[in-house]
Structure 1
Amino acid sequence: MVSERGLAVLRAIVQDYVATREPVGSKTIVDKHRFGVSAATIRNDMALLEDEELIAAPHTSSGRVPTDKGYRVFVDQLADVKPLSPAQRHAIEVFLGASVDIDDVLSRTVRALAQLTHQVALIQYPSVSRARIQHLEFVALAPRRVLTVLIADTGVVEQRVVELGADYEEPVLRSLRDAANEALVGVPMADAATVLPTIVERFPEPLRPVIAELVESVAGIIGSTRQERLIMAGTANLVRTEHDFTGSVYPIMEAIEEQVELLKLFGEMAAEQHGVLGNRDVSVSIGRENEPFGLAETSVLTSGYGTSGGTVARLGVLGPTRMDYSTNMAAVRAVARYLSRSLGDQA
C-alpha cells in the first residue's frame, strides 16, 4: 500500500521526468518540491515505490523513472487537470466556428487538437450505426441522371449520382422525396435497409423500375458509410518524440495508418472507461495496456463527442507514455465539448 507521501513522491517523479526526460533522484525531489523531510526519507519512499513496480532505474544511476504501472497510478490519482487558457479556448471557438460542414469541422478539430497537445490527434468519424436519417433529397441533373443526397442527424452529408435506365419526370422525384422522408426520417441508418423496399411498393408498377434504382442509390450510400474510419493530424509530432521509444517509431506509425487496431482500441476504451476525471469523461490507456494493438510504448487519451442525441464517436491523442497527462486530458475534454456544441448547432 502506497502512503500519501509516497503518492506525492510518485507525482513529483512523473512531473519532473515528463518535463526533463532525465531520471529523477531524491536530492532533486528534496530541493525542488520541499517535502519537509530528508533525502534519506525520500530515498526510502522511492525504494517502496520501486518495490511496488511504480518506478524503475533505467541504468545504474541513482535516478528513477515512472513505469507504465506508475503512470497508471498517477493518472488514476490525478486531481488537478490544468484548464485551458482563455486564449486557447478562444482559439478553439474561432477555429471551429468557421467550419462549413461535418468534414470541415472534423478536419479543423483534429488539427486544433494536435496543435494544443503536440501529439498525434485522432477523431473517429461519426458512427453510422448510431446515426439517424434526417433528410433525403433527389435532384434532377439530366434526363437520366439524378443526384441522391442523404443527411444524417450527426451532420454527415453523403451523395451519389445515379445513371438511370429510363427517363423520368421531375414530379416523380418530388413524390419519391416525400415518400422517402415520410418513411425514413428518424430511422437509424442501420435499420434503413428493412424500410427501403416498402417505399418502392408505394408507386404504380410503371414507375417502379426508376424508383427502385433511386432507392437502391440510398441503400448504396448507407452501405458505403458503414466502414468506420479515423481522421488524423500531427503524425510529425510522433517523429519528434522518437527518442521516447526504445526501438523505431515506424511500426507505431504503421499501426496508426492501418486504423483497424486503433478503432478496436477506441471501442474498448469507450466500453471500459479507463479515465478518472469526475464523471469519467476522458479515458486513458497506457503503455502495456495497448500491447494487443501494437502500441505498447504509447498512451492514448480519448473522450466521446456527439450531438444532443448522445455520443456518436470518440476523439483523442496518441503519444509516448512520457507525456503531460494533465494538460492533454484537459485539451481532449475541452475539444470534445466544443465539437459536440458545434455539431449540436449544425443539427
Structure 2
Amino acid sequence: MKDRDLILMKSLIESYVREGHPIGSKALLKHSHLSISPATVRNIMSDLERQGLLLSPHTSAGRIPTTQGLRIFVDQLVKVKNLETDALAQLKSTLDPNLETNTILGRASSVLSDMTKMASLVQLPSKPFQQIEQIEFVPLSERKLLVVLVLKNDEIQNRIIPVERNYSRQELSRMADFLNEHFSGKDLTTVKNQLLKEMIFDKERLDSMMQQAVTLASAGLDEAINHYQDFHVSGQTNLVSMATHGQIENLEQIFQAFKQKQQIVEILERSILADGVKIFIGEESGNQNLSDCSLVTAPYKLNGESIGVLAVVGPTRMRYDKVIPIVDVTAKLLSNALSMKIKDE
C-alpha cells in the first residue's frame, strides 16, 4: 500500500473508533490533512474496499474498516502510548505480593477493567504448584488409552483418550520412560507449555515414537488442566454500557460466551506461549459469540514460565493504543508480584 493510502486508512479508522459511524470522503480528507482532491480520496477508498479493508454498511458513501483493515491498523499503524506515571503507580500498589494469590489475580482483573472501561479476564493458574511425579499409559479397549498422572501430593488423575492405533505395552513403557525423564518434578502448566513447544518447534529433533509420546501426554494433560481451569471476570457492566451506545451489537451472545467458560479458556490458551501481547479482532477469535469484540491478551509468568493469561474484552473499535500497554504492563507486574510472593515464601 502507498503511504497516502495508509495515512487515509489510519485516519478513517481513528475517526471511526472515535465517532462510531461510517466516515465519508470529505470528513476523511479533513482529518487526514493530505493535499489531495476529494475525488482522489474517493478513488482510494474504493480501492481499499475492493481489497477487503473497508466496507460500506449502508447506501451512504461512508465506510468503516473490516476485520482485515483493523488487523493492518493494529499491526502497522497503531502507535502504542506509554503508561502515565499515575497509572503505573496504581498498578504497582494494586498488585501487592503480600496478598493471597487469588486476591492478587482478582485485583488484576478489577484494575484492568477500571483502567480500560471494558470487561477483563484473568485466567487462574492451572495449579502451578501441582508437580507431576509420574506419567503412565495403560492400554484399554481398541483405540483407547488410559493416561495416569501421579502428582506429588499423592493425587492420582486418570484420563481416557482416543488414539489413532493400538500400542503395545512395550511401546507405552518406552514413551512413559521418556516423558518421566524429562518432566518428572515439574508442574502441570510448565509441562503443558513444554509439550506444546515440542509439538510446534522441535518435531525434527524427536523420533516418531517420542513424537507420539508428546502428543499423547499433551492430550492427557489438556483434560487434567481443564479440571482446574477458571478465570476472574470484571467489568461486564461496561459491556452493557457499550451496547447501549451502539459499540457492541450482540451483548447476549457475549455473555453466553462468558457463561460457557471453556470457549473463553480455549481462546486464552492460544495466547499462553505468546511473547507479549496478542490481539484477536472479531472473528479471529474463532468464537461466533465474540464476533463483535476484540480481545487483547498477554500471558503472565511465574519465575519465567507462563502459567496463565489475562485479557481485555471490548468492541472491535476500541482504543488499541491505550489498551495494549495497559494489558502488557499489567501482565508484567502481575508476573513480578507472583514471583516475589513465591520467593518470599
Q: 2:285 aligns with which of 283, 290, 301?
A: 290
Q: Measure how far apart 1:99 and its partner are.
A: 5.4
Corresponding position: 1:334 with 2:329: yes
Q: 2:260 aligns with which of 258, 261, 268?
A: 258
Corresponding position: 1:187 with 2:185: yes
Q: Measure how far apart 1:319 and its partner are.
A: 1.3
Aligned residue runs from structure 1 range 9-48, under 5 A: 9-48=8-47
Distance, in Å, in 2 between the alignment partners of 1:345 and 1:225 is 27
What residue number does 2:125 align with? 126
Aligned residue runs from structure 1 range 108-123, under 5 A: 108-123=107-122
Does the aligned pair in 1 maintain the 2:124–2:308 contact within 8 Å? yes
Q: TM-score, normalised by structure 2?
A: 0.69
| Structure 1 counterpart SS, 2:81 | coil
Q: Measure how far apart 1:332 and its partner are.
A: 0.5
Write the letter of the residue equivalent to 1:306: K
Does the aligned pair in 2 maintain the 1:262–1:293 contact within 8 Å? no
Q: TM-score, normalised by structure 1?
A: 0.68
Distance, in Å, in 2 between the alignment partners of 1:77 and 1:60 is 30
Corresponding position: 1:308 with 2:303: yes
Distance, in Å, in 2 between the alignment partners of 1:244 and 1:79 is 20
Distance, in Å, in 1 between the alignment partners of 2:225 and 2:312 is 27
Distance, in Å, in 2 between the alignment partners of 1:103 and 1:264 is 21
Distance, in Å, in 1 between the alignment partners of 2:327 and 2:253 is 25
What residue number does 1:244 align with? 247
Distance, in Å, in 2 between the alignment partners of 1:224 and 1:43 is 53
Aligned length: 258
Does the aligned pair in 2 maintain the 1:270–1:283 contact within 8 Å? no
Q: Measure how far apart 1:85 and its partner are.
A: 1.0
Unaligned runs of 5+ in 1: 134-151, 153-157, 159-185, 192-222, 274-279
* 1:266-302 C-alpha deviation (Å, 9 max, x unpaired): 112345x5xxxxxx51101111222445322211110
Aligned residue runs from structure 1 range 117-266, under 5 A: 117-128=116-127, 131=129, 187-190=185-188, 226-242=227-243, 243-246=246-249, 248-266=250-268
Q: Measure how far apart 1:14 and its partner are.
A: 1.1
Does the aligned pair in 2 maintain the 1:307–1:344 contact within 8 Å? yes
Q: Measure how far apart 1:98 and its partner are.
A: 7.3
Distance, in Å, in 1 between the alignment partners of 2:276 and 2:77 is 14
Q: Identity across aligned pairs (percent)?
A: 28
Does the aligned pair in 1 maintain the 2:272–2:308 contact within 8 Å? no
Unaligned runs of 5+ in 2: 132-151, 154-183, 190-223
Task: Choose 1 or 2 for highest CA Rg.
Answer: 1
Distance, in Å, in 1 between the alignment partners of 2:225 and 2:72 is 42
Does the aligned pair in 1 maintain the 2:296–2:311 contact within 8 Å? yes
Write the letter of the residue equivalent to 1:342: A
